[in-house]
Structure 1
Amino acid sequence: MSHTAHIPSHRKPRRRASKSALRAGVAGGVLSTVAVAGAAGPAQAEPVTQTIEMPTITSGLATAVAASAQATQQVALDLEAQAHEDAAAQDAAKAAKKAKAEAVRKAEAKKKAEAAAKAKAEAEAEAKERAERASRTAARTTLSAPSSSSSGNSATTSAPSSAPSTSSNATGSAASIVAFAKAQVGDAYVAGGTGPNAWDCSGLVQAAYRSVGIDLPRVSQAQSTAGTQVSLSNLQPGDILYWGAAGSAYHVAIYVGGGQFVGAQNSSTGTVQRSMDYDRPTGAVRVL
């Protein structure tokens, strides 16, 4: 036996043939690729002369610019419209203020005119009242004169006792009431009127008695029972005549003597002096 027979060998085992073939194929492919690349190298080195067109963006930019301009114009229009509205509001406020001042001025002028008219009416009423007082005084004087002469003349013929008394026999308060009533003849008739230039029936009677300090009820129903009931054949000047039942009379007037009365009749005739035969009353009351 040799002395080297038991020394293991350091040589690697042989590779399989398939792996060797695979490596050989890969190496060959790499070399082929390098060869192809080397062959193509000179052709790619030539400069590129073809021009590449980039997509244009001018159309989109123009649209954006146009939209921005339109928006700016709209803002300007809005500002202008707002300015017009503000100016119109200021003008309206000035006009309203001026109109208010004018209305106040007219109201004050109207108030002054009404006050002046009222003062004038009061002055005229006062003047008329003074004239009526003077007229009543003159009437009392005139009515008293025949009575005095009659008492001094025994030959005077007296009226029949059945005939109504005449106004010539009225004296004192009765004469004043008669004079007041006659002074209103020709005045207008107004429902609810209490003078001085317009009356209703009970308003005239009340005012006539008030002129001598006697207060009567306001309405004809109450006035028809305000005194002592008297016969129509025994009347005296100043008695109150009524139409309808006592306590529910619908019309009143003042007997002024001589078979006549003064009353505020209606809106057509106004205040008149008429004969009792014109409209015969139902009854009468005496207050004096």
Structure 2
Amino acid sequence: MSHTAHIPSHRKPRRSASKVVLRSGVAGGVLSTIAVAGAAGPANAEPVTTQTIEMPTLTSGLVGDFTRSAEATQRVANSLDLRAQQDAAASSAAQTAKKAKAKAEADREAEAKKKAAEARAKAAAAAERASRTAERTTLSASSSSNSGSGSSSGSTASASNVSSQATGSAAAVLAFAQSQIGDAYIMGSTGPNAWDCSALVQAAYRQIGVDLPRVSQDQSTAGTQVSLSNLQPGDILYWGGAGSAYHTAIYAGGGEFIGAQNPSSGVVKKSMDWDPPSGAVRVL
């Protein structure tokens, strides 16, 4: 036996294996532990060394921060959505107001045009009345200067006209004119419930297929000139000069005529003595 056999070996025992264990936990402040253990041979073993490392813990405070952040984000989104809705509503209201303003302006313009047209019509009617008054004054003065023979011939004409009766086409013309008595006089109107003088004459003759000119000046030369002492029912009477007449009517017989006189009288049947005409033309 060797003399060193009883002496324990001084060599450090060899490690045969090593193992690393990692344990971790997150919740309620659980600590994570990393253990490293080394196992020696079957005869001898060294003590196990344990090292503990503290890991971060997800606490309720962090959860609250996440929750508050999410809520803040949602509030911002809600605020942006509300702002968008408000902007859309404001834009729609602005467009509606713009359309309403445009319509109001159009209505005002149309009303102004209507009033202007009415004013022009009234002015034209007033001018026509003034012209007729002046013409009648001239005619009256001229009649007063004539000799009594003129009056005698007028009386004879009236007497003969009283016994005359309209027939044929003249009767149709007068029947239409008679049916319009009481209608209004409006300058430029052509019926059916309002007329000016030449429009009534034109419409009456249209009943028998005769197409007369529209205005008094042209109607006063539309047929054959006849004397006021030789009138027949249906003849066209005119006031003013032939070709420059300012008023026309239809002779009804018996010294009377039917015509659209003026805004105050409308369509009437009157004696020629009430408003003596200047001349007459015969179309039939």
Greater share of residues in helix: 1
Identify the structure with the greater strand proportion.
Answer: 2
TM-score normalised over the length of structure 2: 0.49
Please say which structure displays the higher CA radius of gyration.
1
Q: TM-score, normalised by structure 1?
A: 0.48
